A and B are shown apart, each in its own frame.
Chain A
Amino acid sequence: NAGVTQTPKFQVLKTGQSMTLQCAQDMNHNSMYWYRQDPGMGLRLIYYSASEGTTDKGEVPNGYNVSRLNKREFSLRLESAAPSQTSVYFCASLQESTQHFGDGTRLSIL
C-alpha cells in the first residue's frame, strides 16, 4: 500500500507488557506519522517526525514513545500497555502534501 509497511498486522498483549510497532517506507519521504483509530473518533495523531532524527508530540502522545533512527523507519513503542491503548494504529509518510498510509496494526490489550 503506497510503500508504507507496518508490522505486525495483529497483536494481543497483556496489561503492562511492552511492545514496539514497526513502520518502514521505501519512498525516501522526510515526514512520517503515527495515528490511532478508535470507533467514532476518526484518526488521531500520536507522534510525528518531520525529518530523520526529529520527533514531536501529536494530539495523544501519552503512554507512547517513538524513534526515527533513519529516514526509512519510524517505530512506536508502548512501554507498559494499558487497555485504553487497544486500537488500530496507522503509520503514514508524506508525499507532496499528501499522506499515504500503511495497512494498520490491530492491537488488543487485555
Chain B
Amino acid sequence: AQKVTQAQTEISVVEKEDVTLDCVYETRDTTYYLFWYKQPPSGELVFLIRRNSFDEQNEISGRYSWNFQKSTSSFNFTITASQVVDSAVYFCALSSNAGGTSYGKLTFGQGTILTVHP
C-alpha cells in the first residue's frame, strides 16, 4: 500500500520568511513519481512539479525549490521569501508504476495549509 504523510497541518509565516513543507512517502515500488500541487483559495488544483524516483536532483523554480531524498523517503518543498499570494493548501502526492498497471493513480497527503501574513 502507498501512503503520503504531510505532518504539518497548518503553517503560518510572515511575508518574506522562508518556509519548508514536509512530505514523507511510503511505497514498495521502485519506479514512482512524486508531485506537489497548490490549491489557492479559489479552489482549483495547480500542478507545481513532478519528480521520478530515478532523479534525485534538487530542483529550483524561482522562489520554489524541492528536495528529494530517497534515503529518507522525503520530498520537501521550500518557498523562499514567501509572499501573500503563496497562501494556499499544498498537497504532496505519489503515483507508482506498479508494473505498468497503476494508470497514474495518485495517493495524496492530507495537505498543508500555508498562510502568509503581510
**A97 contacts the other chain (Cβ, under 8 Å)?**
yes
A interface, how many residues as a size bin? Answer: 20 to 34
Q: Which residues of chain B are within 8 angstroms of A31 by Cβ–Cβ distance?
A: 103-104
Residue from B33, B37, B91, B105 in contact with A33 in the complex, judged by beta carbons closer than 8 Å: B105
Q: Which of A19-27, A43-51, A74-82 contacts B (4 or more CB under 8 A)?
A: A43-51
- CB-CB contacts of A71-110 with B at 8 A, as 1s and 0s? 0000000000000000010100010011111011010000
Residue from A1, A42, A48, A58 in contact with B91 in the complex, judged by beta carbons closer than 8 Å: A42
Per the bound structure, the CA–CA distance linking A93 and B43 in Å amounts to 18
Decide: A42 near B47, CB < 8 A? Known: A31-B104, A94-B103: no
Residues of chain B having any CB pair with chain A under 8 Å: 4, 9, 33, 35, 37, 43-45, 47, 50, 52, 91, 93, 95, 103-111
Some 30 contacts from A to B, beta carbons below 8 A apart, are A2-B47, A33-B105, A35-B106, A35-B108, A40-B9, A40-B111, A41-B110, A42-B4, A42-B91, A42-B108, A42-B109, A43-B106, A44-B108, A45-B106, A45-B107, A50-B103, A56-B103, A58-B105, A88-B43, A94-B104, A97-B33, A99-B47, A99-B104, A100-B47, A101-B44, A101-B45, A101-B47, A103-B43, A104-B44, A106-B43
